[in-house]
Structure 1
């Protein structure tokens, strides 16, 4: 790998730590526990970034996606569905998948739409590399970085939700994560609607969400007190 390719991977990992990514992936993994949710989200997102790196995508870049608040509406959808699942689980006294009819956004499609909706510094920095790298190479290594972070995040969230069916620590941990994900997603959506610049807070918030998930997963591994 060249220095530029390492940089593309690093930017992908940084982009994968954006709180909107983690909230979406964790929310999807709660609604439909699958170890592939984070990876599929990263692949969908990376495919759009790769497309945008081609000069022929100027028309697509010219559409004012941010004016439509596309990502904000998607975050509200994820947050709302997560709260609905938590309320349903509370009535049942168990943390399950919820009813089969519960709508779950396709992770590939959701990742692709997020690629259009949010223009973060890490994504824009990656696209700037297209002047020095072939778009396919750029997309491959940028997506690899995202997949490393979002894939692990989705795996941990799905495992935590799967363990929640047995009750105990895992159920409490899954419930806490659900509320954090729901209110984070809604807070990010409101920030976008109000045009509040979250760029300075994105990395600390993303690290905090990821650290919380890891901490909750470790918490479920500890033996219960007698």
Structure 2
């Protein structure tokens, strides 16, 4: 990732800006709450919520999958994680303002707000991840065929990592391939993901608790909590994004390396997106139709702990990168000749 930051000034500036945003948020908190240990502790909790939420499985799967897809198109999408977090944080900030402004009255109606938002957010997350899994399946099919042709010394036509133009598969999935083509489009995806309101509720509770502990606290002061949450989440999601761009950058130095690595990582993306998206979809069905017993209890238990899966997903992608590099060198694939 250090080489990426040296070669990509925009990535370095983005990371620097996010570090500064975190420092400013903490400076704001210190200026407002330095006299209260309880409020500083609440600030730390809000920031940790952001760091933790950034590695939720649906965040990691969405960011890594879109990053891989855009690099397949010859782009350097260093802003995917930041835009996704910005969209997600917008929901958190808006909900926190509403909670702080209306306090108890809003809190009484929060249950309906939470249930509706949770349904929408989970449905969007599951649909997006399953759609990206289909995209990656099509890409994986093309990459696998190209790599097999390369090993046999056959001619590889066109861009070896993109699916062929035309044909039934391109007709079926053409719109899905164009789903996200620019980093800023992840803002809308993050916004829709944020409608789950689980995190917005946590920040809202922190704000209300802080307001109760310190009589007369202004809305401006309460907004310190979502600011800390948002800055922490954006920093971690961007680091994950840059880590993936750096990993893909190694693979894209040579055509044969690109083929082999993408075959490995695309297969991983398919498995992760199908697993996370499928679990979320099954969880919706379970809640909607009150399904229980047997496999449904297992699905419910896994969904309840899905947040921890984000760490596993990050580790899985990094492991695939390292294993791919080692196996590639061990088998001497660099010596393969690309005929195009």
TM-score under structure 1 normalisation? 0.81
SS in 2 for 1:95: coil
CA drift of 1:119 comes to 4.5
The residue number in structure 2 matching 1:136 is 223
**2:329 maps to 1:224:** yes
SS in 2 for 1:194: helix
2:249 to 146, 149, 162: 162
Compare 172-181 and 27-36 and name the one that shifted more. 172-181
* Structure 1 residues 123 and 48: CA distance shift in structure 2, 3 A: closer
* Structure 1 residues 171 and 88: CA distance shift in structure 2, 3 A: closer
The residue number in structure 1 matching 2:265 is 177
> In the aligned structure 2, how far is the partner of 1:13 from the partner of 1:170?
32
* Structure 1 residues 98 and 127: CA distance shift in structure 2, 3 A: farther
Written as runs of structure 1 = structure 2, the 5 A alignment for 1:24-43 is 24-33=62-71, 34-43=77-86
2:305 to 190, 195, 200: 200
Matched-pair contact (CA < 8 Å) for 1:50–1:138: no
> In the aligned structure 2, how far is the partner of 1:175 from the partner of 1:119?
36
Q: Please tell me whether Structure 1 or Structure 2 has the larger radius of gyration of its CA atoms.
A: 2
Q: With CA pairs under 8 Å and 6+ residues apart, which has the higher RCO, 1 or 2?
A: 1
CA drift of 1:91 comes to 4.2
RMSD across aligned positions (CA)? 3.1
- Structure 1 outlier segments of 4+, above 6 Å: 97-101, 220-223
The residue number in structure 2 matching 1:125 is 202
What's the CA shift string for 1:49-77, capped at 9, x where partnerless? 11111226969936713445222112212
What's the CA shift string for 1:172-202, capped at 9, x where partnerless? 3443332222222222222222224312243
The residue number in structure 2 matching 1:210 is 314
> In the aligned structure 2, how far is the partner of 1:182 from the partner of 1:221?
20
The residue number in structure 1 matching 2:18 is none
Matched-pair contact (CA < 8 Å) for 1:13–1:145: yes
Question: What 5-or-longer segments of structure 1 have no aligned partner?
Answer: none
TM-score under structure 2 normalisation? 0.56
Matched-pair contact (CA < 8 Å) for 2:142–2:163: no
**2:92 maps to 1:49:** yes
